[in-house]
Amino acid sequence: MGEARFSGAWAPPYIRPVFYLTGRMLLALAAAMLLPVAIDALTGDPNWRAFLIGSVITFACGFALIRMTRCQLSGGLTLRQAFLLTPVAWTTIALFGAIPLYISDYAQLRDSFTNALFESVSGLTTTGATVIIGLDEAPRGILLWRALLQWLGGIGIIGVAIAILPALGVGGMQLFRTESSDRSEKVMPRVREIATGIVLIYVALTVVCGLAYWLVAMPPFEALAHALTTVSTAGFSTSDVSMGRWDNATLHWIATLFMLSGAVPFVLYLRLLQGQQDALRDSQIWFLVSLLAVVIIAVAAWLIAYGGHGAADALRLAAFNVVSVVTTTGYATTDYTVWGNIMIGLFFGLMFVGGCTGSTSGGMKIFRFQVMIRMLQSQFLRLLYPRGVFPRVYAGRALPDEVIGSVVVFFSLYFICYSALTVALMAVDLDFLTSASAAVASLSNVGPGLGPIIGPAGNFATLPDAAKWLLCFGMLLGRLELFTVLILFFPQFWRG
């Protein structure tokens, strides 16, 4: 997770460093595969072999890749190399992550490479859409591997957001980087220290979350598996009915809290630990919290008035499901689509929102909505006062033009990709509600969609293979903030 530095000159796109770094990540993935080997061996499940073979293959390929592409990285990456690294690394890891699923003895994944890859991509991108029916009886190794992929994907995307995207000028994080670099030059001296700090915080949050789950309701394995997918706002469960399996109000509130903990910028925790109280003044946090409060209260009120729920019950259901969708976790306690068309519409809209920049959650992100609101305000003011000058201020400083440009273009591009994905899904003959909700559920990395097929009570297993491949692309596209993937389709990228 070192920062991508660029060699001064615009070097030709040698791809060796890209594959070298990808190879190193494969070694880490091979090591992670030993955990499912261990749990399967402990529980006497013969499926440990699949993970061991997968680990060996991954290690061998990673090792070969490193040997073939060994190079000096002290000069850093060029801009093109950095752009290439993100999609290449994520695609490669997702492919290798699918190997143990595909060679497993678990029929639903073994019989279809598409299914194995879908599950792996859905894991690594922290989406959490599943093709497995009968999770409650699935082998533990498989369940753990799905959870681990999500946990690795969660910390991976924080790394990308902090170390890669700002340098690329994608994702608006360049603003936060400027902010932190001249405010706390001495407090947070180097990227490596920030990285270590954030990883430790991520581990700590996961451990605390898992312990809480275990103490309140869950058996140890389920507590671990859910902790891994809660803090990463990823949403794979060990049960077909997700968190609804445990009818325990305390558990649901704990899950709500830890889903939220994964949707705030992780740099914030670091600052708080360093005693920077003003970190809490981050306007993203307050926007997110205010939005959640308003929506949760409205949904709870509606559930009390029309759903026949008691106040405590309604508040818990509303908080859990709203936080689950806005943080793009995708857990369910209940099928909220039975709450009526108004709730389907509301949750559909919430799927676009997402959490904060620099967190594990997906979606369009709170920061972009804030910039968009500033932009709309200044546009209307300009209509009223054509000769006026309206600086767009965010967090006490003027927003640079290039940040505004990139946010506004992202906004439009998101809707364009969303529409294109919806139409493409309809072209493989999915119905409108399934297509439209699957498109946003994958692009925003929420997971479950809407409707009888892929809703909170449904499953992606029955979709045609073409739809699964389209959704894999959508999940990667959304997870990597559109630009880093789409730039590869731009002819200029490959020229010169």
81 vs 85: CA distance, rounded Å: 6
- Report CA torsion sign: 171, 172, 178, 179: negative
342 vs 302: CA distance, rounded Å: 10
Q: What angle do CA 30, 35, 40 make, to 5 degrees?
A: 120
> Of 219-238, which residues contact K ion (CB under 5 A)?
234-235
**What Cα–Cα distance (Å) separates residue 104 from each residue in 48, 52, 133, 465?**
9, 10, 16, 20
CA torsion 176→293→214→157, rounded to 10°? -30
Nearer to K ion, 443 or 470 (CB): 443
Query: Quick one: three-class SS letters along 358-379?
Result: CCCCCCCCHHHHHHHHHHHHHH
CB of 330 to K ion, least distance (A): 4
Considering only the stretches 123-131, 285-293, 351-359, 406-414, report the one whose residues sit in contact with K ion under the rule CB under 5 A: 123-131
Considering only the stretches 39-47, 182-190, 266-274, 347-355, report the one whose residues sit in contact with its own copies under the rule CB under 8 A: 347-355
416 vs 73: CA distance, rounded Å: 37
383 binds, among K ion, its own copies, none (CB under 5 to 8 A by kind): its own copies
The residue with tokens 């681990």 is 148
CB of 427 to its own copies, least distance (A): 4
Give the Cβ contact number of residue 244 at 10 Å. 18
349 is a site residue for its own copies (CB under 8 A): yes
128 is a site residue for K ion (CB under 5 A): yes
Considering only the stretches 83-91, 199-207, 365-373, 440-448, report the one whose residues sit in contact with K ion under the rule CB under 5 A: 440-448
Nearer to its own copies, 53 or 375 (CB): 375
The secondary element (H helix, E strand) that includes residue 398 is: strand 397-398
277 is a site residue for its own copies (CB under 8 A): no
CB of 405 to K ion, least distance (A): 29
Interaction pattern, residues 398-417, with its own copies; x per rule: CB under 8 A: ----x--xx-xx-xxx-x--
Question: Which residue, 202, 424, 394, 334, is CA-closest to 325?
Answer: 334
452 is a site residue for its own copies (CB under 8 A): no
429 is a site residue for its own copies (CB under 8 A): yes
Candidate residues 224, 344, 438, 467; the one interacting with its own copies per rule CB under 8 A: 344
- 8 Å CB contact between 51 and 41: no
Candidate residues 139, 171, 447, 458; the one interacting with K ion per rule CB under 5 A: 447
CB of 343 to K ion, least distance (A): 19
7 is a site residue for its own copies (CB under 8 A): no
Question: Which two structure tokens, joined as six digits, stand for 282?
Answer: 């981050």
Candidate residues 197, 210, 330, 474; the one interacting with K ion per rule CB under 5 A: 330
469 is a site residue for its own copies (CB under 8 A): no
- Residues near K ion, by CB under 5 A: 128, 234-235, 328, 330, 447
- The annotated binding site for K(+) is made up of 126-127, 328-329, 445-446
